[in-house]
Structure 1
Amino acid sequence: MKFTRVFAFMALAGLAGSAFATNGYFSHGYGMKAKGMAGAATASSDDAFGGANNPASMAFAGNRIDLGADLFSPVREASRAGGGLNGTSESNSEYFLVPEFGYNRMVNNNLALGVTVYGNGGMNTNYPANLGSNILGGSGKLGVNLVQLVVAPTAAYQIAPNHSIGISPLIGYERFKAYGLQAFGMNSTDNTNLTNRGDSDDAFGYGVRIGYMGKITPTVTIGAAYASKMNFSRFKKYQGLFAEQGDFDIPENYNLGVAWQATPAVKLALDYQRINFNGVASVGNIAATSLIPANVAAGLGLGADAGSGFGWDDVNVWKLGMEYKYSQKLTLRAGVSHADNPINGADFGEAMFNILAPAVIENHATLGFTYTLASGNEMTMAYMHGFENDVSGADPFFGGTDKIKMYQNSLGFQYSWKM
């Protein structure tokens, strides 16, 4: 009954909307314990979020339910100078509730079965109109909303004492809508399925994550996980916007981690993550392709296989976290992370195209704690600040220079039941 209630809450809240744009459009971490340590969790087994971090960790996580939610606040701004439609526009949508859920059950001493449900990420902007026109020349307000929810049933098995492997089939749901892009009508292969299509369109997808975890000494644990590209069905309402006729997949990614119990009270964790955005055409294709009239005439308009994407590069992410056991009941956490910027403003038209998704954050700092109740259940909180960053580039439509910038904050709470 407890599992059913929290899973239903998670599913409903997840569909209500989310918008992450921290490391590209991936979250900086999954699970509040990981988020308090800047996302460094590949070699940790403190919760039931192995389906998002490292499936092998569930073999050491014990029987538990983790239910959490982040109040996420990205502040986005776009401006143009030296061309047409000069000015500054700020996205109005600044607060999003992003839930996550994990469940784990030890079938025996070696085998664990569970499920992780999480918002992988998303893109959301909502720029107002000024005298009827928005900053990209369309009518009315301008924006997009992309929500991605992943369900990851997980099995983990200790193949030897202190060594485990795990697998999580990934079942994905995403929805998308866009409005205010009328100015791109001449650049689209299908301008009737480009913008302002009413209700959000839906897509379903699948993939897999596999992992390994090993406690190689009494104080050192290592971990590794790999997730395939999640292939989704197409957004038919937006087949004139996204490359490959409305296709929008979640890219292949992998992570490596090590955790060192430096003292009985202090643990340090270091993660490396690679996200291959360039392998998803709608994200990685060159932004300027469909902005050049000759290319549009040659069939390379928006929505074509080689049509414009957001021009994002593959990124490397480094995460360093520290955990301090202050007392039997209170554990404190802190972390920092650095990610490559997927947006290269020097590429022609890229800053303009990414007004829709200004995912330019590179550096994060986090704090967190867990308090253990007399029952053994836990309350965990985590705070994140994404430091302001900006990217500028030449505008191919209106001339002059476009500039996009963003900073972020999030505050999350998680309650965990030990069973």
Structure 2
Amino acid sequence: MRLQGTTRALLAIVAAAPSLAWATNGYFSNGYGVASQGMAGAGIGLPQDALAAAANPAGIAFVGNRFDGDISLFLPRRGADISGNSYGADGNYSGNNRSIFALPEFGVTYEFLPNAYAGLALYANGGLDTGYARNPYRAFGAAGSAGVDLEQVFLSPTFAYKLLNRHAFGIGLNIAYQRFTASGLQPFTGMSVAPGNVTGQGADSTVGVGVHLGYTGEITPTLTVGVTWASKIHGRFDKYKGLFADGGSFDIPENYGIGFSWKVTPAWTVAADFQRILYGNVNSIANPLANLFAGNALGSSGGPGFGWRNTNVIKIGTSYDVTSHLTLRAGYSHSSQPVASTQTFLNILAPGVVQDQATLGGTWTTDAKTSFGFFYGHAFKKTVDGEASIPAAFGGGNANVHLAEDVVGISFGKQF
């Protein structure tokens, strides 16, 4: 009955998902749940709450019967500057038409048979949002403001089974809802196989399903390891079939990772994750802009994309139980750069370039097993300077893109 009621509530929230946006590692979220995010997103080998399934579905076998919900406020600062352009596009451009985004997450786990666990989680995998009141493509014939809005929300039913009380295997379905809009891209319509489906078509959405597998094992009383893999999830934006390669295809990339946690002392835990995100295997994300000038129009098979590369992420976090009620956390993460310096012209719209994030957090747990948590994260400003990044057909020169982020979140949890 608890799971059934929670499912209805989460689906209702999914229906309202277009208010969400997020970006840290490219456009993937750095972590899921306030406890994990307080440790820079480390969680593959350290399940802490009912949102453990988002990082590793096997983790729900180690958190007990519980409910967790949280909300974060995300504040990105993004923009670009153009120099050396013969069409008169030089200048500084702010992409901050919207500056604050709300991100709710919910999860529930339950042991329905001995050693058999079910879970349900709602979370945002990622997203991107830019809004340029002063359109950086105006010198090329654009009108009005420019920007894109990409949102991705996951609803993940999960099952895990525990063996010998120390090892667990998990499987989940990642039901992904994506929503996209684009505006102010009129100069690109004449370079598309579908000129009427490049810009200004309003919101389009797509739903896809993928598989998420995981293992979590307590190798020793102090060492826990986790391994996880999530499949590619297919998606298509028909309203923007003239913008994205392969007729509007926009898949969520396959990703995998490994993590561990080590109890240095009964009160002190250190955790680390390695994650690889295969952006380079999704044509609409990975194809370079040069494809356009090699005879592949926007929206075609082999058409240009954003030139993103596969990305590696390392997350390191620590937690310390100050008392039986109070736990404090900190962490740091670093990712490789998905955006090449030669690909910054289109990435004015999608400057997912930050690489380093530091976090702090904590949880207060009452005697009644009710918990209240918080975290703060700062992604340090990163600028990718263009390298001959504006094609000669657009007057040459360079576009330099930048992004910095702050995020703060609070949570409520209950073990039952």
- 2:371 equivalent to 1:385: no
Of 321, 324, 331, the residue aligned with 1:325 is: 321
User: Cα gap change, 1:178/1:271 in structure 2, threshold over 3 Å: closer, same or farther?
Assistant: same
Matched with 1:109 is: 114
- Given the alignment of the two structures, is residue 340 of structure 1 paired with residue 343 of structure 2, yes or no? no
Q: 4+ runs of 1 displaced by more than 6 Å?
A: none
Matched, 1:162 2:166: yes
For the residue of structure 2 that corresponds to 1:52, the secondary structure is helix
* Cα offset, 1:137, TM superposition: 4.4
**Equivalent residue for 2:150, pick from 139, 146, 152:** 146
Q: Which SS does the other structure have where 1:192 is aligned? A: helix
TM-score, normalised to structure 2, is 0.94
- Measured after TM superposition, the shift of residue 376 of structure 1 is 1.2
1:217 aligns with 2:213: no
SS in structure 2 at match of 1:113? strand
Q: 2:291, 2:144 → 1: CA distance?
A: 26
Classify 1:314/1:100 alpha carbon distance in 2 versus 1 (closer, same or farther; 3 Å): same
> Cα distance, 1:136 vs. partner?
6.2
Summarize the Cα distance change of 1:102–1:136 in structure 2 as closer, same or farther, 3 Å threshold.
farther
Task: Give the partner amino acid of 2:401.
Answer: I
Please, what TM-score do these two structures have when normalized by structure 1?
0.94
- 1:354 is paired with a residue whose SS is helix
Contact 1:136 1:181 in 2 (8 A): no
Alignment partner of 1:89 out of 87, 93, 99: 93
TM-superposed deviation, 1:69: 1.3
Residues 133, 140 of structure 1: 8 Å contact kept? no
Does residue 310 of structure 1 match 2:269?
no
Instruction: Give the deviation of 1:93 after TM superposition.
Output: 1.4
Q: In the TM superposition, what whole-angstrom CA distance separates every residue of 1:72-106 from its partner, at most 9, and x where no partner exists?
A: 01100111112121111101211111111111001
- 2:7 touches 2:120 (CA, 8 Å); kept in 1? no
1:286 and 2:282 aligned:
no
Q: CA deviation at 1:404?
A: 0.4
Any idea what the Cα deviations from partners look like across 1:218-266, whole Å, max 9, x if unmatched? 100000000010112x211000000110011110000100100000110
- Tell me, what secondary structure is at the counterpart of 2:385? strand
Q: Which residue of 2 aligns with 1:185?
A: 189
Indicate the SS of the match to 1:230: coil
Q: Aligned equivalents of 1:36 and 1:319: distance in 2?
A: 11
2:29 match: 27
Residue 58 (structure 2) aligns with: 56
Contact 1:245 1:304 (8 Å CA) reproduced = yes
| C-alpha contact 1:117 1:151 (8 A) present in aligned 2 | yes
Which residues in structure 2 correspond to 1:353-372 (within 5 Å)?
A: 353-372=346-365
Q: CA separation in 1, counterparts of 2:91 and 2:366?
A: 53
Give 2:265's aligned amino acid.
T
Is the contact between residue 85 and residue 137 of structure 1 (CA under 8 Å) also seen in structure 2?
A: no
Q: Is the 8 A contact 2:137 2:185 kept in 1?
A: no
Give the alignment partner of residue 206 of structure 1, picking from 206, 209, 212.
Answer: 209
**1:251 is aligned with what amino acid?**
P
What letter is aligned with 1:127?
Answer: Y
1:229 aligns with 2:232: yes
- On the 8 A contact 1:311/1:343 being kept in 2, the answer is yes
Distance verdict in 2 for CA 1:35–1:137, change over 3 Å = farther
Unaligned runs of 5+ in 2: none
Alpha-carbon distance in 1 for matches of 2:156, 2:140: 38
Corresponding residue for residue 124 of structure 1: 129
Taking the aligned partners of 1:160 and 1:166, their CA distance within structure 2 comes to: 15
Alpha-carbon distance in 1 for matches of 2:407, 2:140: 29
Q: How much has 1:287 moved relative to structure 2?
A: 2.3
Aligned residue pairs total: 406
Q: Which residue of 2 aligns with 1:265?
A: 267
Cα distance between partner residues in 1 of 2:313 and 2:260: 15
Secondary structure, aligned partner of 2:113: coil
Is the Cα–Cα contact under 8 Å of residues 137 and 187 in structure 2 kept in the other structure? no
Q: Is contact 1:129-1:139 (8 Å) kept? A: no
Paired residue for 1:407? 404
SS in 2 for 1:22: coil
CA offset digits 1:143-198 (Å, max 9, x no partner): 00111111110000013320010000111111111000001112111110110013
- The structural deviation recorded for 1:9 is 6.1
User: Which whole-Å deviations, capped at 9, do the CAs of 1:299-353 have from their partners, x for residues lacking one?
Assistant: x1111121111100001100000001011111000000100010011x2xx1111
| 8 Å Cα contact 2:270-2:317 kept in structure 1 | yes
8 Å CA contact 1:51, 1:209 repeated in 2: no
Distance across 2 between alignment mates of 1:417 and 1:278: 40
| Residue type at the aligned position of 1:143 | G
Which among 409, 413, 418 is matched to residue 415 of structure 2? 418
Rate the CA distance shift 1:23–1:255 in 2: closer, same or farther, 3 A: same
Q: 1:178 to 1:330 in 2, by over 3 A?
A: same
Distance of 1:112 and 1:39 partners within structure 2: 23
What SS does the corresponding residue of 1:241 show, helix, strand or coil?
Answer: coil
Q: Percent identity?
A: 42
For residues 325 and 80 of structure 1, what CA distance do their matches in structure 2 show?
Answer: 49
1:65–1:135 CA distance, 2 compared to 1 (3 A): farther
Q: Deviations over 1:268-297 (max 9, x none)?
A: 00100000001111101112222x2xx3xx
